[in-house]
Structure 1
Amino acid sequence: MSKQCQITKKKPMFGNNRSHAMNATKKKFSPNLQNHKFWIPSKKKFIKLKISMQGMRMIDKKGIETILKNINKG
């Protein structure tokens, strides 16, 4: 599976790791992804999602069903 959030579509970013002497080495900044199961009351079943912490906060605020409607619509 890819390292992408299924809710927010966050992907890894690339940049430079800077030492004290300002030497640049390539670095990959990965999003904080978590595997989580959510209960959908209307369907009476669990779904598994790979989401970032920002996606979890959105689900806590708006609810899983409204988030899933917005994903399927757009």
Structure 2
Amino acid sequence: MSRRCELTGKGPMTGNNVSHANNKTRRRFLPNLNDVTLQSETLDRGFRLRISAAALRTVDHRGGLDAFMAKAKDAELSSTALKIKKDIAKAQAAV
């Protein structure tokens, strides 16, 4: 299971631990990932995704999963999220 947000593509970053003696050793900064179920009003069902806390706030701010997916860039989305985006767009076009 990779440590990557399925909606924003946010992943681990690298940096240094710096001691009091100014010794530097490499470390990783991992994203704050959460397993959540997001509801789609268009498809009337839930989707389980592993997303960062920042992405969850963004989804709430934009007004839900459907609105977030409408503005999301395809390059940032995982293959699962990309399939959800296409299903939502197809359902909205049919209505």
Task: Indicate the SS of the match to 1:55.
Answer: helix
1:73 deviation in Å?
A: 5.3
1:11 deviation in Å?
A: 0.9
Q: What does residue 69 of structure 1 align with?
A: 70
Q: What does residue 4 of structure 2 align with?
A: 4
Distance 2:15 2:30 in 1: 11
**TM-score (ref. length: structure 1):** 0.87
1:71 deviation in Å?
A: 3.5
1:40 deviation in Å?
A: 1.2
The two structures, once aligned, show a CA RMSD in angstroms of 1.6
* Aligned structure 1 segments of 4 or more residues deviating by more than 6 angstroms: none
Q: What does residue 57 of structure 2 align with?
A: 57
Task: Indicate the SS of the match to 2:72.
Answer: helix
Q: What does residue 24 of structure 1 align with?
A: 24
How many aligned positions are there?
74
Q: 1:19 to 1:61 in 2, by over 3 A?
A: same
Q: Give the helix-richer structure, 1 or 2.
A: 2
Distance 2:48 2:73 in 1: 16
Q: Give the strand-richer structure, 1 or 2.
A: 1
Structure 2: 5+ residue stretches without partners: 76-95
Q: 1:46 to 1:18 in 2, by over 3 A?
A: same
